[in-house]
A = this chain, B = another copy of it.
Amino acid sequence: MKIVAVRVTPIAIKDPPLLNALGVHEPFGLRSIIEVEGADGQVGLGETYGDAAVLTLLQKTQASLVDMSPFDLNGLWARVMAQAPAAQAGAAVEMELAPGSLASNLVNSAFSAFEVAFLDLQARSLGIPLVELLGGAVRNSVPYSAYLFYKFAAEVDPEYAPDPWGEALNPQQIVAQAQRMIGQYGFESIKLKAGVLEPDAEVATIKALKAAFPGHHLRIDPNGNWSLPTSIRVAAELAGDLQYYEDPTPGLEGMAELHKATGLLLATNMVVTSWDELRRSVALNSVQIVLSDHHYWGGLRATQALARTCSTFGLGLSMHSNSHLGISLMAMTHLAASVHHLSYACDTHYPWQEDEVLAGGKVPITGGCVHLTDEPGLGVTLDQDKLAELHEAFLRCRIRTRNDVNQMQRYRPDWTAVKPRF
């Protein structure tokens, strides 16, 4: 069975003003939606980053995929690689909070989008859920965490009505955000995106969350925005409250020092984003938990191999997320369902996304989990009207490459990128 058409559609989705170490989310997040159509009329879906560099690589590659077999993933890799030099040359802006935007991860980020669509097409043609191609489900429900953000109430220069979540700039507002999110979705783990306020204020937020949710697993992620001394000082205050300590301080060496000093389990999606960094982390004992992401690790099968490598080297495994829609969520879910060695509830930004390209709207999350169904492939299909609408939003939107620093300067003109800030 041959592929007869490949479509790459850039879209812009509304994104709330969520704060992080670099600044604030822009009013639109960019995603690329992939459709791979087989000769049997089935369509496989994929989703990945929508920044200019990745989008360019996807667009340069797409025509070369026609007439391929959807099973030929090694051939797909070769075709993406063939277009990579031109795309990499144009990859000017890197944003380390989104490892899929790194030039070094560009091929993986483009490949993975097509790989998911190829696998989805295989599974649809076979009439089986995608997870079966990954070896079958070892769990039918995949747990996710409540991903809490400090945030502004509204965009600086609104292009649409404010999101319903309101402001969150102190512990009480974060607890309220958690109550709302957990009430709605049933999450049993909580992740606080930190590195935003003074560390003492963020410690107070964790303490308030611990008081409000004594049975939940808590994590804090300052995105490498704390110096090693700050990270060590905060560790002493939070040690008993945290399931793991995510990327408090920059660099493999800094994380190794921090682990040696505190003994805390350190997790990362920043210092281990590639196989080479994984090797160096093992040598240094920098981190104990890898937050994987099939988008930049090179797809679903590569992430399964990553799971085995992590298991071999005694590393825990969970999943990182960037702003995404339901295709990515379902790819994450099928993958996580197939992996024995999944140690913790996965991260997802999904509750923050109001837009969706799927027929039937948003994927349900209940009991803190996304649940597999018996539907073929990823189990979701596109709403073409909605896709067209979000593509129109992309065309109208001024953003072509995510830049949270520039966006923060619209709120605070004297804002600069500094790291670590605290």
Contacts and interface: CB of A to CB of B under 8 A. Distances in A.
A135 B301 CA distance: 9
B305 A308 contact: yes
A136 interface: yes
Contact of A69 (B136, B275, B308, B312): B136
A282 B314 CA distance: 13
A198 interface: no
Number of copies of this chain that the complex holds: 2
Contacts of A355: none
The 6 closest A-B pairs by CB, nearest first: A72-B136, A305-B305, A71-B132, A73-B135, A275-B312, A74-B136
Nearest to A73: B135
Contacts of A282: 282, 313
A145 interface: no
A370 interface: no
A279 B132 contact: no
B136 A279 contact: no
A133 to B, nearest CB: 7
A71 B275 contact: no
Contacts of A275: 308, 311-312
Nearest to A78: B138
A172 interface: no
B136 A71 contact: yes
A137 interface: yes
Nearest to A277: B312
Contacts of A133: 71
A412 to B, nearest CB: 42
Contacts of A135: 71-74, 301
A309 interface: yes
Interface string A290-328: 000000000001101110110111100000000000000
A338 interface: yes
Q: Which of A72, A74, A276 has the most CB of B within 10 A?
A: A74
Contacts of A312: 275-276, 278-279, 309
Interface in A111-134: 126, 128, 132-133
